[in-house]
Amino acid sequence: MKKWIFIPIVLIVAVIIWLVTKPGDARNVNTGFTPQTDSIKKGDIKVEVSATGIIQPINKVEIKSKASGLIEELPIEEADIVTKGELIARLDQRDTKNAYDQSVADRDAAEANVAFCESDYTRKKELYDRGLISATDFDQAKLSLVQAKAQLVRVKIEVDNNDIKLKDTIVRSPINGVILTKDVEIGQIISSGISSVSGGTLIATVAEMSEVHVIAVVDEVDIGRMRNGMKANVIADAFPNKVFQGEVIRIAAQATVEQNVTSFEVTIKVSNPGSLLKAGMNTAVEILVADKKDVLLIPNEALMTQKEMQQEIMKLNLAAGQTTAKPKQNGNEPRQYGQGNRPQESSAPAEAESLNRGVIIKQESGYRMQMVNTGISNFDYTEALDGVKEGDQVVYTYVSQSMQANSEMRERMIQRNAAQSGMRSQRSN
């Protein structure tokens, strides 16, 4: 009984072994390997650097009073539009007004005294010329006139000083702008901004807002591409559907490090029609690094280093049952191959080799490697200067180093923006 059970088992095992070891051409085996391709095409390419920023006024003035005293009038509120010379505050003027009136009265008396001394000097000069008075009396009249004129000069200066002090009790806006902050109220006693050790009491802050600065935080990876004069688009969180135009005017020389993120401050001057942008607003910034029209574009996934292409072409040729093709290098001699169609080791440094990039081009007869001179690049495409032509079919069958670099950059941008959002939330709390 056991013998009949054993025989079918042996037969089944034999059939399985025969199927597995069945002779045949290994190249006819379906590997299931299908390379992905894309065509080289012409188009427009923009390279933009994304950043976050905060609106700051270009011309911001802290308003203080030259005089000390009690605030009697304060006709401003925050967000009010003011013009140059408009009243900001008026202080109690009683003491300064009294001093001014007294000095005016002293000036009038001094002027009358000068007139009297001049008349007296004229009479005594006639008498002296006729020999009717002594030289001493004449000299005394001359001295009195000089002293009267000197006194008039002193009281006029006193009038001017008291007039200045009286005017200092009236505080006016030094510029056209908007009131950012109002720091005092009516009835408050303030100290002078020029005579007080503490620097005086801040009354208000006014800023001119027809143009503003955006202080953008740019990642250190992108700062090397920044130049003064580059155009920028600014979108405020408060106006997500409106784009404000700006221009880079200053790039910080010193980095800042927050939450292990190294960045640089880039100052962008932005036109602010209607004064929609307010100081302290958060913004998203796109700085235009490069913009080219109608150029050859290569998908970044298809760009590889020479070593990557050699490895990939071997897989492609193995799948197609072909020999390894030699790369074209734009006029340079192709790399020689040794036995077994394996690439020989290059004597060039690995760092230099990694800078050379190219593509695998699909042809009717198979695949070939082609080195490419590249121009500007963004997250999706790279400009081809030469080495390929429009319509070439390029292969990408795995994630290349360029694609990995783009992914890492995207992740870095996400982390940086998240860190900046966290810092803004902390500041707002």
DSSP states of 361-419: EEETTEEEEEE-EEEEE-SSEEEEEES--TT-EEEE-S--HHHHHHHHHHHHHHHHHHH
- The answer to whether position 261 is within a domain reads yes
Residue of 290, 405, 411, 356 whose CA lies nearest to 45: 290
d(CA 21, CA 310): 32
Residue 14 has a pLDDT of 55
- The answer to whether position 199 is within a domain reads yes
Residue 182 has a pLDDT of 95
* 161 shares a domain with 136: yes
* 196 shares a domain with 287: no
* 289 shares a domain with 223: yes
Residue of 55, 40, 70, 88 whose CA lies nearest to 303: 40
CB contact set of 33 (below 8 Å; sequence gap of 6+): 315, 319, 397
Write the DSSP assignment of 127-138 as a string of letters: HHHTT-S-HHHH
Residue 280 has a pLDDT of 92
The per-residue pLDDT for range 372-420, each reduced to its tens digit, is 998 888 888 899 988 888 988 998 765 445 455 555 655 665 666 555 5
Question: What total number of domains does the chain contain?
Answer: 3
Q: What number of CA atoms fall less than 13 Å from residue 428's CA on the CB side?
A: 10
What are the tokens at 169?
Answer: 């009790």
* 174 shares a domain with 88: yes
Q: How far is CA 95 from CA 92, 98, 102, 335, in A?
A: 8, 5, 11, 96
Burial class (CB in 10 A: 0-12, 13-18, 19+), 335: middle
d(CA 273, CA 403): 41
Q: How far is CA 267 from CA 94, 270, 395, in A?
A: 48, 10, 42
* 77 shares a domain with 177: yes
CATH of the domain at 77: 2.40.50.100
* 175 shares a domain with 100: no
345: which DSSP letter?
P
- The answer to whether position 275 is within a domain reads yes
* 134 shares a domain with 244: no
Residue 411 has a pLDDT of 63
* 271 shares a domain with 149: no
What are the tokens at 189?
Answer: 């006693």
What does each of the 429 residues of the chain score in pLDDT, given as a tens digit? Answer: 445 455 555 555 555 555 444 444 433 344 445 678 888 899 999 888 989 999 999 999 999 999 999 999 999 999 999 999 999 999 999 999 999 999 999 999 999 999 999 999 999 999 999 989 999 999 999 999 999 999 999 999 999 999 999 999 999 999 999 999 999 999 999 999 887 777 899 999 999 999 999 999 999 988 988 999 999 999 999 999 999 999 999 999 999 998 888 999 999 999 998 889 999 999 999 999 988 999 999 998 888 888 888 888 887 777 666 544 444 544 444 333 333 333 333 333 333 333 478 898 888 888 888 899 988 888 888 999 888 889 889 987 654 454 555 556 556 656 665 555 554 444 444
* 179 shares a domain with 88: yes
- The answer to whether position 200 is within a domain reads yes
- The answer to whether position 313 is within a domain reads no
Residue of 293, 291, 277 whose CA lies nearest to 230: 291
Task: Tell me, rounded to whole angstroms, the distance of Cα 161 from its chain centroid.
Answer: 47
- The answer to whether position 369 is within a domain reads no
The per-residue pLDDT for range 318-349, each reduced to its tens digit, is 766 654 444 454 444 433 333 333 333 333 33
d(CA 330, CA 374): 12
d(CA 209, CA 140): 66
- The answer to whether position 286 is within a domain reads yes
* 163 shares a domain with 215: no
Residue 429 has a pLDDT of 46
CB contact set of 356 (below 8 Å; sequence gap of 6+): 305, 306, 371
d(CA 247, CA 219): 18
CATH of the domain at 157: 1.10.287.470
d(CA 110, CA 417): 74
The last residue of a domain, from among 277, 293, 309 = 293
* 277 shares a domain with 251: yes
Q: How many residues does the chain have?
A: 429
The H-assigned helical ranges of 224-340 are 306-320
Please give the model's pTM, rounded to 2 decimal places: 0.61
Residue 10 has a pLDDT of 52
d(CA 42, CA 297): 6
CA angle 95, 84, 269 (to 5 degrees): 135
Residue 175 has a pLDDT of 93
- The answer to whether position 67 is within a domain reads yes
d(CA 92, CA 103): 19
The domain of 234 spans 49-57+210-293
